[in-house]
Amino acid sequence: MADIPRRILIINGKGGCGKTTVATNLAATYARTLNPDSPPQANGKPSSCYSVALIDHDPQASSSHWASLRDGAQPEVHLQAAHQRAGMYQTQAFAYRIPQQTNRIIIDGHSNARDRDLEMLLKQTDVVLVPILASPIDIHAGGRFLSELLTHRLFRASPKPVGVIANRVHQNTATHDKLMHFLDCLDVPNVATFRDTPAYHDAMASGLGIVDMPECRAARKENVAWRKLVAWIESQPHSDRASVQALRSRPLSAGRIDTRREADSAQA
Ligand SMILES: Nc1ncnc2c1ncn2[C@@H]1O[C@H](COP(=O)(O)OP(=O)(O)O)[C@@H](O)[C@H]1O
Ligand SMILES: [Mg+2]
């Protein structure tokens, strides 16, 4: 199943909960994570990191902006601006016009994905991540979105792993306790918790992920949580989807191979 790309959708009906922050950071983390399916080196370690595509479905194009700021010193994340499509539902083939070597696809979903748009996104997804902020309004909206998702016709017909991400958390506050209680009551696992830190603004403003900022103390503290999130996603069953293989068109760009990634990841 090595070369069937795993597709991870980041979605919530609430704007501002951190979808783009999670999508861009997850893309950056995968791009620095050794791919165990790549050929082993002489020392037995995998020879390369995951090859990552980030698909921006949000008309606000924040992920696209992030990718435009990313410089050549960082491991490549291929950006596909799916919000630029001519018609809302002309997406499937378009969205998969990604480099042939891509093995992880991160989809930044938008807040108004409903009905056919949500269906289209779910059809293209293997794992769903739902970021939720620790505020009463966000907890309420997140709960509604999750029940909409879990009872969706397509979702019931073809269930997928779903994880909730507690975002912008200030530990040991009343709202944090409320969010944790809310998550305990759900059937959906809390798969990551990210702190509220300006490091995320800095990362967004410079085309970086938290994992690309080893010189920043706050970013270093967050690093482990991102690695754990990748480990959770990778522990989920990989479905057999020969159709995805067929959808991958010829490479649009050759895709830069950054040999520094290997060294960086080995150090991480
Ligand atoms: N963990 C965090 N710590 C600090 N700021 C955050 C964090 N997560 C998101 N933000 C900020 O919150 C704002 C909204 O996040 P964003 O990812 O754009 O949300 P969405 O894509 O769901 O609309 C952005 O300014 C982002 O930098
Ligand atoms: Mg966004």
pLDDT digits (tens, 9 = 90+) for 215-225: 999 999 999 99
Instruction: Find the mean pLDDT for residues 24-44.
Output: 96
CB 17 within 8 A of CB 167: yes
> Does 165 sit in the ligand 1 pocket, CB within 6 Å?
no
Q: Does domain 6-235 have CATH number 3.40.50.300?
A: yes
Q: How far apart are CA 6 and CA 194, in angstroms?
A: 23
Give the pair of three-digit tokens for residue 129: 């991540």
Instruction: Give me the helices (H) in the chain, please.
Output: 19-31, 62-69, 92-95, 115-123, 136-150, 153-157, 174-185, 199-205, 217-235, 242-247, 260-267
Q: When comparing pLDDT for 94 and 226, which is higher?
A: 226
Beta-bridge partner residues of 40: 46
Among the bound ligands, name the one nearest to the CA of residue 131. 1
For 42, 65, 170, 188, 258, the CA distances from 192, given in Å and listed in that order, are 34, 25, 14, 12, 28
Name residue 35's amino acid.
Answer: N
Least confident of 75-84, 110-119, 120-129, 176-185: 110-119
Nearest atom (ligand 1) to Cα of 14: 22
For the cut 80, the answer to whether the pLDDT of residue 263 exceeds it is: no
User: From ligand 1's centre to the CA of 168, what distance in Å?
Assistant: 8
Q: What is the pTM for the complete model shown?
A: 0.87
Helical axes 174-185 vs 136-150, angle rounded to 10°: 10
Q: Atom 7 of ligand 1 has which residue's CA nearest to it?
A: 168
Q: Atom 25 of ligand 1 has which residue's CA nearest to it?
A: 201
Residue 107 sits at φ, ψ, to 5 deg, of: -110, 115
Nearest atom (ligand 1) to Cα of 15: 23
**What are the DSSP calls for 121-140, one per residue?**
HHHT-SEEEEEEESSHHHHH
Q: Which of 24, 83, 200 to mutate to test the pocket of ligand 1 (most atoms within 8 A of CB)?
A: 200
Model confidence pLDDT, tens digit, residues 232-258:
999 998 765 544 443 343 333 322 323
Q: When comparing pLDDT for 178 and 199, which is higher?
A: 199
Q: Measured between alpha carbons, how far apart are the two ends of the chain, in Å?
A: 26
Q: What is the pLDDT of residue 123?
A: 87
